[in-house]
Amino acid sequence: MAGNNVIEFTDDNWKSEVLESDLPVLVDFWAPWCGPCKAVGPIVEELAGDYAGKIKVGKLNVDNARAVATQYQIRSIPTILLLKGGKVLSQRVGAGSKKDLEQILERAL
């Protein structure tokens, strides 16, 4: 599911990995049955490598981490959130290109 630089976020590690992160965090809300999520997955993994050390990148399976998905009112997937200091800076619903996601990431740097 996740590449070398991609973290698997869960209800249990959300606070420590995302809310308390010193780095901005890109979160891909996804599910294994979601076709568009499969298209976004490789882009997210590529960005994780490109921005290693600058932005933390991870994926959250909405079927397995329902508490976080509900808290952030994730109603459609894929949804990409960019958080910094525990606050949402940007949200994108639906599949996007690498360039679309890079524009989101640049806002946090």
Q: What is the pTM of this model?
A: 0.93
Q: Which of 2-6, 19-23, 70-74, 79-83 has the lowest mean pLDDT?
A: 2-6
What pLDDT was estimated at residue 3? 59
14: amino acid identity, one letter? W
Residue 72: both structure tokens together? 């952030």
**What is the C-alpha separation between 78 and 62, in angstroms, rounded?**
10
Asked if 14 contacts 70 with a C-beta cutoff of 8 angstroms, the reply is: no
Q: Percentage of the chain surpassing pLDDT 90?
A: 85
Whether 1 shows a pLDDT value over 60: the answer reads no
- Could you report the per-residue pLDDT of 45-85, keeping only the tens digit for each? 999 999 999 999 999 999 999 999 999 999 999 999 999 99
Residue with tokens 């998905």: 69
Query: How far is Cα 46 from Cα 12, in angstroms, rounded to an integer?
Result: 25
Among residues 28, 14, 87, 81, the alpha carbon closest in space to that of 58 is found at: 28
6-104: CATH topology is: Glutaredoxin (3.40.30)
Residues annotated as catalytic (active site), given as ranges: 34, 37
